[in-house]
Amino acid sequence: MKVFLCCSGDRSYEVAKAFEEWLPKVIQVLDPFISSGIPKGKRWGEAIADELEKTKVGILCLTRENLNANWILFEAGALSKTKDAYVCTFLLDLKATDIEELLASFQHTASKKEDIRQLMDTINKAVKESEEHSLGEKLFNSTFDTYWTELEATLKSIRAKSPEVVPPSRDMKDMVEEILEIARRQDVKPYSFSTLPHTHYQPLREIDNRDIVKILTGRKEDDTDNNEDSER
């Protein structure tokens, strides 16, 4: 089963690489994909759309330095429009209150053992829903515990590295204003978020993943060559 790992920045990429290597050890049928792994020469937009069509789980690897990165917001928007996919954020040295909309609307996973166990349990259930070989509860817990120390050590080493640039923490006034804004939206007819700035909405409608790539990048299909390095 395909798991889409979204990252931006050095530490975020290292987290994604850690999950890429670790996930199949716990649940063998998982096939992690990092968008930076698209082969040179392959059309970037087309490759992303193809992967999204096969994706059942998306994990956004967030660090303090990439919370407003365009690449993270782009892939978060694309994943949120992927039919029947589970999408969550993985927080490295972050709290849920550090996350702003649009990313705040996703389920968060802290870098703690039991939180990651719950994430893996959700993924295991998604495997079962896809009619692939999921793990029974006893085997799942045993396998998770066997490989947990490996992931724990890797995450510890990543946390020890200095971030590239650390934006200031959010203040209380900012968080209160966001809560009020979200509350006011409850009185408005349903809209879906785009991955553009916070105040930009679009009517809820069906949309194809290939359209997402063109809408969010602002490019025509034949312009979406392998340019992810320039987007990061």
Contact 35, 6 (CB under 8 A): yes
Residue 124 parent element (H or E): helix 113-129
Q: Work out the number of other CB atoms within 10 angstroms of the CB of residue 149.
A: 10
Which helix (H) or strand (E) element contains residue 108? strand 107-110
Mean pLDDT of the chain: 76
Q: How far is residue 60's CA from residue 73's CA, in Å, rounded to a whole number? A: 10
Tens digits of residue pLDDT in 179-225:
455 455 444 444 333 333 333 333 334 445 555 555 445 555 454 44
In one-letter notation, the amino acid at residue 49 is: A
CA atoms within 13 A on the CB side of 45: 18
Residues whose CB falls within 8 Å of the CB of residue 219, separated by 6 or more in sequence, listed in order: 45, 213
pTM here? 0.68
- Give per-residue pLDDT as tens, 27-71: 999 999 997 766 666 676 777 777 777 888 999 999 988 888 888
Largest interatomic CA distance in the chain: 49
The parent domain of residue 180 ranges over: 2-231
What is the number of structural domains in the chain? 1
